[in-house]
A and B are shown apart, each in its own frame.
Chain A
Amino acid sequence: GQNIDQPTEMTATEGAIVQINCTYQTSGFNGLFWYQQHAGEAPTFLSYNVLDGLEEKGRFSSFLSRSKGYSYLLLKELQMKDSASYLCAPHRNFNKFYFGSGTKLNVKP
């Protein structure tokens, strides 16, 4: 819902780098969250971007372009445990949270 667009599934190799893109509606936009969700488990917070640019947090980085309605999550030095779904969640109008349908990342040995 809310025109949040992210790829359904991606596959990458252990040790590699992968970029997961997300586009969203810009009206009422405050900031954007990324969450990780392992199969059958609860989502857990990864990052929040409110300003344009890249924010790095260990192996994970998140980028935001407010004017373009675009974000990406960059995962470096992939590990098998990174196999999970990654949810893009624009925060709008200060009290509305919307979630994309998620990108399922498969990490292969």
Chain B
Amino acid sequence: DADVTQTPRNRITKTGKRIMLECSQTKGHDRMYWYRQDPGLGLRLIYYSFDVKDINKGEISDGYSVSRQAQAKFSLSLESAIPNQTALYFCATSDLGGGTGSGNEQFFGPGTRLTVL
């Protein structure tokens, strides 16, 4: 079974609709992240959470919100979707690590392809 799962895998919606993307993990990691990926722009961090009570904005948080319901679950919401939010969205997790060791590597879910018409 996959360690990091995302639902849905694909979604087509209309401008103005509210959308929630969900992420679950069985790795027991404290840290979870949401990224979007656009062609030519690489991965950009939307929000991240270091534990259930911790939520932080990333580079491009405008138009998005998140909820960390449990250690294993981290949801991303688009309150009113717009076409330029069409992208591939990835959830990722990482262990606490020591700040300098390879235990900080991130484990990514399979991605959600979102199209906003």
A residues within 8 Å of B by Cβ? 1, 4, 8, 30-31, 33, 40-45, 48, 50, 87, 91, 94-102
Contacts and interface: CB of A to CB of B under 8 A. Distances in A.
A50 B44 contact: no
B47 interface: no
B100 A50 contact: yes
B99 A94 contact: yes
Contacts, number: 55
A31 B110 contact: no
A102 B42 contact: yes
Interface residues of B, number: 25
Contact of A95 (B44, B50, B105, B106): B50
Interface of B: 33, 35, 40-45, 48, 50, 56, 59, 90, 99-102, 104-111
A96 B108 CA distance: 16
6 contacts: A30-B99, A30-B100, A42-B110, A42-B111, A95-B50, A97-B106
